[in-house]
Structure 1
Amino acid sequence: MILTQCAVCATELGLSLGKKCGRCSTRYCGAECQVQHWKEGGHDQLCKPIKKAGGAEQYNANKKYSEAVAVAAEACADDTKGQTCYICTQALHWKTKEGLVRGCACRGTAGFAHVSCLAEQAKILVAEAEENNLDAKAFGERFDRWHTCSLCEQKYHGVVKCALGWACWKTYMGRPETDRFWLLSMRQLAGGLYAAGHYNDALSVQEANLSMMRRLHVPEGVLLDVQSNLATTYASLGRHERALQIKRDVYSGRLKLLGEEHESTLRAANNYASSLKDLSRFEEVKSLSRKVVPVARRILGDSNDATLRMRSMYAEALCRADGATLDDLREAVTTLEDTARIARRLMGGTHPVTAGIEEFLRNARAALAARETPPTSKK
């Protein structure tokens, strides 16, 4: 996690409170904890190595990155056995000796790489965009390499996304807090932590990121992005009412700012529907979906991941709503069969989106079969 807590007592410091070690910038809530850490916590031995690594934040980022890469390579070991990196063409990274990963939608022999190679590729592309002062669209396409595969054009997920999040943060965290790369890299880190299931850490990073953006008076649209991610993390931590409140506000903000046909508005609607589903408010999910899904299919297309999520969520609401009819169940199964086919073609069978749709398709089919099968008459 980024350093927002006292190194001794874990008091929350945000991005600006407390004090720092004058040599290595390790953070403390006050002088008492700083003295205790030096005398009893081993900081007297670590201070110089931390300073040599670039300070406490850089030292922490480097350490967490190495740990995340090892976890990602281990998780992908069975899938990557006998393969080589499509960037450096080696099985083991020449310098770090790390193994391969694949956490996107590539299949067959495509998409295997080292996290270090993916990070270096992204770093070079972004540096070229910055050096040549490319426009926002070109810059965005290059920065996407930190989270999206250049081969299948699908986002990384799970522990691979987490490792790339740490790679991005350790690359840019030394820049000033007002620098766009600093803010963007913090968002990538938060997304990676969330993807790997580290929800409390993700929440801490997201709250710090939102606090900084408010201090800098960033545009409303950017704030809505960060709030949306924050709400998703609240939901994953079981704080569904808080998540619903934020997602409703974000959806309302998107509608006012961008209109109902903008992709960001449609994704906000999807997130809002997800929170309604978490609270079993299925009639509201159905009502919202019937309004949004036709727009998403027309604007984004059936193969867009947001459209797939919206349609599958609508189908789930059809099945789980009180008083679901036989026609509701049949519509749900038909919808899920279509979305599952598209998701498998687009992302592969192991992608979390595909797996989630196919799991609920099995449940929907079972529910439909139970309703269609007449009860056995007693003799």
Structure 2
Amino acid sequence: ALGWACWKTYLGRPETDKLRRTAMNLLGGGLYSAEHHADAASVMEAELSMMRRIGGSDNSDIFVAQTNLASTYQALGRLDQAMCLRREAYAGGLKLFGEEDNNVLSAANNYAKSLLTLKRSEEAKALLRKTMPVARRVLREEHRITLKMRWNYALALCCDPSATLDDVSEGVSTLEDAGRIARRVLGGAHPTTEGIENALRDAGAALAAREGDCVTSVCEAVAAVNLLDGS
């Protein structure tokens, strides 16, 4: 309701007016929060298009708008579009803020997660191998972004169709360590902790199945336990 009220109030103002842009942002965010994702996408697409017209490619507001729209596309199941926007947001944020910025590291993790959703594990691994050391150095091991990066890296290792036994073993070890840290720092009931521990359970099952020769490949073991669910 607040978003609609703001939008109606400032609709007649020029595109360069800050209050008009704020009203559009509130409207899109409100629709997303209310799970009206299709309507939210329409508003956010218009917002991003407007920002590109008036702000240029280096406008930091574009980074935020791309991130928000990508999440909306993800919610709508428009996975390729979400991935493309997350790639653009990461590249743009890297140029604007540098590799050590919290938001850029978060954008890198979101991009990696989109790649995983599209089963592009090799690209996700390459991205995370480049960005995880930065997160561990700047944010430290205990930060939620670092933990999520390690979680996604473990998934990339385990869910690659060409994963070896060593890959899955590394994935399990990564999840074990990240899970211990998450439980200590965030608590056992935190969604990140629960997600890591669920992934660890499934990865452990895949590893045990492979070691016990219950399946012919790690890929089959991973598929059998739906390791990507809930990531």
* TM-score category of the 2 structures, normalised to the smaller one: 0.7 to 0.9
What is the distance in 2 between the residues matched to 1:197 and 1:272?
A: 22
**How well do the aligned residues superpose, as a CA RMSD in angstroms?**
2.9
Deviation at 1:265, TM superposition (A): 2.2
What is the distance in 2 between the residues matched to 1:368 and 1:292?
A: 26
- The residue type paired with residue 55 of structure 2 is H
What is the distance in 2 between the residues matched to 1:311 and 1:188?
A: 33
Q: Residue 256 of structure 1 corresponds to which residue in structure 2?
A: 95
Q: Residue 305 of structure 1 corresponds to which residue in structure 2?
A: 144
Q: 1:323 to 1:213 in 2, by over 3 A?
A: closer
What is the distance in 2 between the residues matched to 1:173 and 1:217?
A: 20
Does residue 273 of structure 1 match 2:107? no
Q: Residue 157 of structure 1 corresponds to which residue in structure 2?
A: none
Deviation at 1:173, TM superposition (A): 5.2
Does residue 233 of structure 1 match 2:48? no
- The residue type paired with residue 113 of structure 2 is S
Deviation at 1:280, TM superposition (A): 0.2
Which of 355, 359, 362 is the equivalent residue of 2:201? 362
Which ranges in structure 2 are unaligned for 5 or more consecutive residues?
Answer: 215-231
Q: 1:270 to 1:189 in 2, by over 3 A?
A: farther
Please tell me whether the aligned partners of residues 157 and 163 of structure 2 are also in contact (alpha carbons under 8 angstroms).
Answer: yes
Q: Residue 164 of structure 2 corresponds to which residue in structure 1?
A: 325
What is the distance in 2 between the residues matched to 1:175 and 1:271?
A: 34
Which of 8, 21, 40 is the equivalent residue of 1:202? 40
What is the distance in 1 between the residues matched to 2:34 and 2:7?
A: 21
What are the superposed Cα offsets for residues 3-47 of structure 1, whole Å, 9 maximum, x if unpaired? Answer: xxxxxxxxxxxxxxxxxxxxxxxxxxxxxxxxxxxxxxxxxxxxx
Which ranges in structure 1 are unaligned for 5 or more consecutive residues?
Answer: 1-59, 62-168
Q: Residue 20 of structure 1 corresponds to which residue in structure 2?
A: none
What is the distance in 2 between the residues matched to 1:187 and 1:347?
A: 31
What is the distance in 2 between the residues matched to 1:355 and 1:190?
A: 30
What is the distance in 1 between the residues matched to 2:174 and 2:86?
A: 25
Which of 205, 213, 221 is the equivalent residue of 2:51? 213
What are the superposed Cα offsets for residues 69-88 of structure 1, whole Å, 9 maximum, x if unpaired? Answer: xxxxxxxxxxxxxxxxxxxx
Counterparts of residues 24-39 of structure 1 (less than 5 Å): none
Q: Residue 245 of structure 1 corresponds to which residue in structure 2?
A: 84
Deviation at 1:171, TM superposition (A): 8.2
Deviation at 1:205, TM superposition (A): 3.3
Please tell me whether the aligned partners of residues 37 and 72 of structure 2 are also in contact (alpha carbons under 8 angstroms).
Answer: yes
Deviates more, 1:314-323 or 1:263-272: 263-272
Deviation at 1:225, TM superposition (A): 1.3
Q: 1:196 to 1:221 in 2, by over 3 A?
A: same
Aligned residues: 209
Q: Residue 125 of structure 2 corresponds to which residue in structure 1?
A: 286
Identity rate, percent: 50
Please tell me whether the aligned partners of residues 71 and 82 of structure 2 are also in contact (alpha carbons under 8 angstroms).
Answer: yes
Does residue 295 of structure 1 match 2:134? yes
Question: Which has a greater percent of helix?
Answer: 2
Q: 1:299 to 1:286 in 2, by over 3 A?
A: same
Deviation at 1:271, TM superposition (A): 1.9
In the TM superposition, structure 1's runs of 4+ consecutive aligned residues that sit over 6 Å from their partners are none
Please tell me whether the aligned partners of residues 7 and 27 of structure 2 are also in contact (alpha carbons under 8 angstroms).
Answer: no
- The residue type paired with residue 100 of structure 2 is E
Counterparts of residues 1-379 of structure 1 (less than 5 Å): 60-61=1-2, 169=3, 176=10, 178-180=17-19, 183-184=21-22, 186-187=24-25, 190-191=28-29, 193-194=31-32, 197-214=35-52, 216-217=54-55, 220-373=59-212
Deviation at 1:189, TM superposition (A): 5.5
- The residue type paired with residue 81 of structure 2 is R
Q: 1:174 to 1:238 in 2, by over 3 A?
A: closer
What are the superposed Cα offsets for residues 290-318 of structure 1, whole Å, 9 maximum, x if unpaired? Answer: 11101111112222222222111100010
What is the distance in 2 between the residues matched to 1:279 and 1:235?
A: 11
- The residue type paired with residue 319 of structure 1 is C
Deviation at 1:344, TM superposition (A): 3.6
What are the superposed Cα offsets for residues 140-159 of structure 1, whole Å, 9 maximum, x if unpaired? Answer: xxxxxxxxxxxxxxxxxxxx
What is the distance in 1 between the residues matched to 2:27 and 2:179?
A: 30
